[in-house]
Structure 1
Amino acid sequence: MTTWQAIGLMFRAPRKGRGFWFSFAIDLIWPFLAVFTRLRFRGADRLPREGGLLLASNHLSNADPVTVTAFALTAGRIPRFLAKASLWRVPLIGKVVRGGGHIPVERGTAQARGAYHGAVEAIRRGECVLFFPEAGFSDDADHWPSAKVKHGLAKVALETGAPVVPVVNWGTHALLPARSRFPKLFPRKTIDIVTGDPVDLSDIVGTDRAALTEATRRIMHAITEILADLRGEQPPVR
């Protein structure tokens, strides 16, 4: 899309329920994306317009929550995402994540389970919740999804029955590499966000380890297949 088309989408995105500081951050960053990147969004029509919804995305860059947020807003959904709890204690950023209704994760502590309950409650309120199942950036040298992923998303999906829509980010790793503190604006980067059909988990019963492993496998397979199609390459055999 053109720069002006991208900016136009910002004004059509839902505002109610975003919270002042989250909304302020969106309004500040969106024009930056529109001017300094080429945004290509596909599959927004696959996101249900209402009701609990889970988005499952690959993870390449700190820019991913920004680009997926922009994408979800074009589909009429306000995403709530899980993020490390330390962000809630950072000036200004804390106001953004707190006001936006996002879900803190106390990594490596007994309170980490609270994020699961927070996600389930959000889904039951009819919210759209964004997960990065890899729980970190891809550890694959060629930027394919990591072989090791967490089962948290699968558990929330099986507990709530909410649809899981796979989402692929591509190009964010060129805009803001994993170990970089500042974006690389030139040459202008192309950012693709593509979704697939909801992942069919209807035949999986329960939330035991076998069920969670199979649900996670299907979700990650869907993400990998979309990425392979986007890149025009074969994913690694694992």
Structure 2
Amino acid sequence: MKPQPPRQPIPWSYHAVIGTVRPLLIGITRRSWSGAENVPRTGGFIAASNHYSEVDPFTVAHFLVDQGRPPFFLAKSTLFEVPALGPALRHLGQVPVHRQTTRAGDALVAAREALEEGKCIGIMPEGTLTRDPDHWPMKARPGVGRLALTSRAPVVPIGQWGALQILGRYARRPGNLLRRPVQQVRAGPPVDLSDLYDRADDPRAHVEATERVMAAITSLVAELRGETPPAVPFDPARARREEGR
């Protein structure tokens, strides 16, 4: 299956990456895509996914590229400091996130501008690989809620499962790629946040919006896994406090 043509302008380097990485992913994995009808055909939107393996961005990007909506990810600013990788990320149009600094809001400004240009912004709200022992989505940072409410862009939840068969959490070596592991990706309908739009500057609304997005993502992951998720998402901050007692 050929990917649909991108529905928004992307850098030539992004075309080059798609032409190189996509055939590689097709060669080493099998795909089970669903929910493509929920991906907006045009206009800016936020694609929010769970995060449990370093492979996740490639899996989500592969799915979105196949729908003609290549994503521009919000990524940790430290990645942009890595030789060769940093310049490549900048040329690909990815957006650095400077956490816990005075520049932390720059990413949201850049993301809103990209959304206004009709781009797809990819975000993994947890901010890092989940710390949940069973790899379920954990409690997320409120950034996705803040971006959603201040931009009013649709938020499409994406659940994905199977990346651990390629590369385990914090693993240094890939798994058995000769098996061509199945990468499952399911997109759900946009999360309804309309009742929170008039509270776009309220941090509590950002948290509530984020919780709704994560609940939708977790539901999709549960469907793919055929399992029941924890009643309460793993909270890394609470876990650290309990360890310190």
In the superposition, the TM-score normalised over structure 1's length comes to 0.90
Q: Could you say which residue in structure 1 is the equivalent of 2:199?
A: 206
CA RMSD of aligned residues (A): 1.7
Q: Could you say which residue in structure 2 is the equivalent of 1:164?
A: 155
2:36 to 30, 41, 44: 44
8 Å Cα contact 1:18-1:99 kept in structure 2? no
Q: Could you say which residue in structure 1 is the equivalent of 2:77?
A: 85
8 Å Cα contact 1:56-1:165 kept in structure 2? yes
8 Å Cα contact 2:160-2:224 kept in structure 1? no
46 and 170 in structure 1: CA distance in 2 versus 1, 3 angstrom threshold: same
Equivalenced residues, count: 229
Matched, 1:53 2:45: yes
1:56-205 superposed matches below 5 A: 56-146=48-138, 148-184=139-175, 185-204=177-196, 205=198
Q: Could you say which residue in structure 1 is the equivalent of 2:219?
A: 225
CA distance in 2, matches of 1:235, 1:71: 24
Q: Structure 1, residues 91-144: CA drift from partner, whole Å, max 9, x if none? A: 432343112211011233221221111111111111110110000011111111
162 and 102 in structure 1: CA distance in 2 versus 1, 3 angstrom threshold: same
Kindly state the Cα deviation for residue 15 of structure 1 after the two structures are TM-superposed.
8.5
8 Å Cα contact 1:22-1:97 kept in structure 2? no
CA distance in 1, matches of 2:13, 2:171: 25
8 Å Cα contact 2:51-2:130 kept in structure 1? yes
Q: Could you say which residue in structure 1 is the equivalent of 2:236?
A: none
CA distance in 1, matches of 2:62, 2:5: 9
Q: Could you say which residue in structure 2 is the equivalent of 1:216?
A: 210
- More moved, 200-209 vs 178-187: 178-187
CA distance in 2, matches of 1:31, 1:58: 24
- More moved, 81-90 vs 48-57: 81-90
DSSP 3-state at the match of 1:104: strand
CA distance in 2, matches of 1:211, 1:76: 32
CA distance in 2, matches of 1:154, 1:188: 36
Kindly state the Cα deviation for residue 16 of structure 1 after the two structures are TM-superposed.
6.6
CA distance in 2, matches of 1:192, 1:140: 20
8 Å Cα contact 1:21-1:95 kept in structure 2? no
Give the partner amino acid of 1:174. Q
1:19-34 superposed matches below 5 A: 19-34=11-26
Give the partner amino acid of 1:236. P
Kindly state the Cα deviation for residue 66 of structure 1 after the two structures are TM-superposed.
0.9
Give the partner amino acid of 2:199. G
Gaps of 5+ in 2: 233-245
8 Å Cα contact 1:151-1:213 kept in structure 2? yes
DSSP 3-state at the match of 2:153: coil
CA distance in 1, matches of 2:8, 2:91: 12
- More moved, 30-39 vs 182-191: 182-191
18 and 182 in structure 1: CA distance in 2 versus 1, 3 angstrom threshold: farther
CA distance in 2, matches of 1:175, 1:13: 27
Over the matched positions of the two proteins, sequence identity in percent amounts to: 41
CA distance in 2, matches of 1:213, 1:153: 9
Which consecutive aligned stretches of 4+ in structure 1 deviate over 6 angstroms post-superposition? Answer: none
In the superposition, the TM-score normalised over structure 2's length comes to 0.87
Give the partner amino acid of 1:224. T
182 and 15 in structure 1: CA distance in 2 versus 1, 3 angstrom threshold: farther
Gaps of 5+ in 1: none
